[in-house]
Amino acid sequence: MAQTGTNAGSTAAMNISAPPPIGHVRIQLEAEETLHVLHAKAIMAYQGSPLGREDKLMGLGGVYRKKKWIRSRLQGPASFMLGLPAGFSLETLDIPEDSNLLFDFRHVVFFTEGIHYQSKILKLKTAWITKELIRIKFSGPGKLGVISVGDIATMQLDPVTPLFVDTSALVAYPEDASIRLAVYGNSLASQHMNVQWELRGTGPVLVQTGSRDRQLENKLTDEGWFKRLLRELLPFGSVYIK
């Protein structure tokens, strides 16, 4: 399977060329390759035999976790284009047979034939705070397409030194990791930060790197206090001052 696309996964063992315009990913399937796409409506264009696409109803678990009823099974030889939401990127990850990573299923866009997955129920206290009841464990060998806000970064866990990750940014972590909800820093820091996952153990953690700081975004796009003042004070200022 060959892929070209925006931020198309440096961790994948694929032939990846320079990315095309932002907003889509192209995937080429060889004759014996099969891919399961969990967001069927994201398929913007398809080139191949009409019989190479077979849509199926998801199981009840998939409907609950993805809020989708249909998934597509694509059989090569074929090529197709996946549309991506603005500001999102797609990583293609190699999943070995003994993988122990637990994924947030919302981030999974596709997986290759031969990938198996099972649900892992989180602790009720954790689920209550994060509104997340289930994580998914995938086992291969195969490939997994993961969508994220910004890129996906990999950080390594340490058995002693904790790693703190914003709960909205944690895409996947090892099943055997020690994990709990926490905050860190002094009292002022802990009072003004989002809830964090505190993790210890060994193995990789996948983090989406898109900024979640709305104040930072506002500051970077701030037009200045003087223009805002004129817009407020002058008659019809909001109309004439843009």
Q: How many CB atoms lie within 10 A of CB 108?
A: 24
What is residue 206's predicted lDDT score, i.e. its pLDDT? Answer: 95
Sheet with 134-139, side-by-side order of all strands: 116-121, 134-139, 101-103, 170-174, 204-208, 152-156
pLDDT tens digits in sequence order for the chain, 242 residues long: 655 544 433 333 333 333 444 678 889 999 888 999 998 889 999 999 999 999 887 654 554 455 556 789 999 899 999 998 888 888 889 999 989 999 988 899 999 988 888 888 877 777 776 667 788 999 889 999 999 888 889 999 999 999 999 988 999 999 989 888 888 988 888 887 888 999 999 999 999 988 665 555 555 555 555 565 555 666 555 545 55
- CA dist., res. 81 & res. 76, Å (int): 14
Residues 6+ apart with CB under 8 A from 83: 23, 24, 42, 43, 44
Dump the DSSP string for 95-137: E-TT--EEE-GGGEEEEETT-EEEEEEPPHHHHHHHS--EEEE
Residue 8, both tokens: 């198309």
* pTM over 0.85, yes/no: no
Residue 62, both tokens: 């998939």
Residues 6+ apart with CB under 8 A from 82: 5, 24, 25, 26, 27, 37, 39, 42, 43, 44, 90, 109, 110
What is residue 14's predicted lDDT score, i.e. its pLDDT? Answer: 35
Residue 207, both tokens: 């983090």
Count helices and strands (H / E) in the chain: 6, 19
What is residue 227's predicted lDDT score, i.e. its pLDDT? Answer: 60
- CA dist., res. 128 & res. 165, Å (int): 18
